Amino acid sequence: MAVLKYSRQREAIYNNLRQRKDHPTADMIFADIRKEFPNISLGTVYRNLSLLSDLGKIQKLAADGIADRFDGNVLPHDHFICRRCGAMTDMDFVDTERFKEEAASRFDGEIESCSIVFYGICADCKKKEAMNLAGEEYSSEARKTVEAQPTA
Amino acid sequence: MAVLKYSRQREAIYNNLRQRKDHPTADMIFADIRKEFPNISLGTVYRNLSLLSDLGKIQKLAADGIADRFDGNVLPHDHFICRRCGAMTDMDFVDTERFKEEAASRFDGEIESCSIVFYGICADCKKKEAMNLAGEEYSSEARKTVEAQPTA
DNA sequence: ATTAATAATGAGAACGATTACTGTTTATAA
DNA sequence: TTATAAACAGTAATCGTTCTCATTATTAAT
């Protein structure tokens, strides 16, 4: 993969991601792009997302249990993931750089980046929960009740 | 899954994880436990790791591109992942609680937990790199060279 | 101890997310 | 315009993980 060539599909994928404020999975982008390119392949979406991510034009985000998310905002910022509805939102008000420096100053290796992900219940889900609206309507399998003694 | 019953496999998995200082994948634990239980199944390892994690006896860790890691240390602490060799080590000297509070104070939803992962080059790999010892011996496919212009 | 109830197991199929392959199409540069 | 190689669509393969199910093991009550 020496010289990069232009492709309309890549441009569309990049533009789509930049315009969105959510943090879509490859599949969500695929579904959206399909409207413009009805026979684009999922592989093309993955290939270009990973390429764009390598180029530093977008960010790839890994999180607990869910599929990788992509973010058109490459500036360092943190994220929140709702355990109830799975929504991922920005948390750009914490000074990550300060953390990174604090950690780097006491670490032997070389710190390049830092991913901070908060988990909890988003404002929307909290509100819905308070109203006691049809609990199962928006809940996932996230809550598991285990009422027993641990081993050992 | 109402009442938990004892199992030797689960105990072995739990003890194995507690004794290790690395942050193994399910597969690494499987390989190790197999020495004691030659015909334990990988599914059993996954089932118990996920059960122990639900019970709060161990921690499940998600990270970028790599398989889930497990940690016998359930106290809140952060991690570092080496992009070169993949090793995951503890970074318990940053005050995560302070971060969480700072974030929570300015956030509408409810923050339950927070995962902080630093990425970079560990001290060992840095040393080896400096010595210029057979570069490919310990490097993975992590480094991709893309020498071209981004789209758009 | 024996038994009944049911949790946990081992083996392997199934699954979702992602990557790799293959033959065809498209962009670029000569 | 034609040669070259990148990018494509389509699809198979891979990986990590979960699920199914018939069998085994643990527990509680006889």
With the CA atoms of A68, B58, B76 and A126 taken in that order, what torsion angle do they form, in degrees rounded to the nearest 10?
60
What's the number of domains chain B is made of? 2
CB contact (8 A) between residue B118 and residue A114 = yes
The partner residue sitting opposite B109, judged by closest CB among A4, A51, A123, is: A123
Pair A92, A127 in one domain: yes
Per-residue pLDDT tens digits for A66-105: 899 999 999 989 999 998 888 999 987 667 778 788 888 8
CB contact (8 A) between residue B2 and residue A147 = yes
The Cβ of residue A110 has, within 10 Å, a number of other Cβ atoms equal to 16
CATH of the domain at B121: 3.30.1490.190
Query: Which residues form the domain of B60?
Result: 7-74
**How does DSSP assign A58-125, residue by residue?**
SEEE--SSSPPEEES--S--EEEEETTT--EEEETTS-HHHHHHHHHHT-SSEEEEEEEEEEEE-HHH
Pair A85, A101 in one domain: yes
- Residue A150 is assigned to a structural domain of this protein: no
> Contact at 8 Å (CB) between B118 and B80?
yes
Pair A81, A66 in one domain: no
> Contact at 8 Å (CB) between B41 and B49?
no
Pair A65, A86 in one domain: no
Pair B14, B65 in one domain: yes
Pair A39, A97 in one domain: no
- Give the pLDDT score at B95: 76
Per-residue pLDDT tens digits for A26-36: 999 999 999 99
CA atoms within 13 A on the CB side of B97: 4
Pair A44, A91 in one domain: no
- Residue B60 is assigned to a structural domain of this protein: yes
Pair B38, B51 in one domain: yes
Per-residue pLDDT tens digits for A22-59: 999 999 999 999 999 999 999 999 999 999 999 999 99
- Strand D and chain A: which residues 15-74 have CB closer than 7 Å? 37, 39-44, 47-48, 65
Return the residue of B nearest to A111 by Cα. Answer: B120
Pair B29, B79 in one domain: no
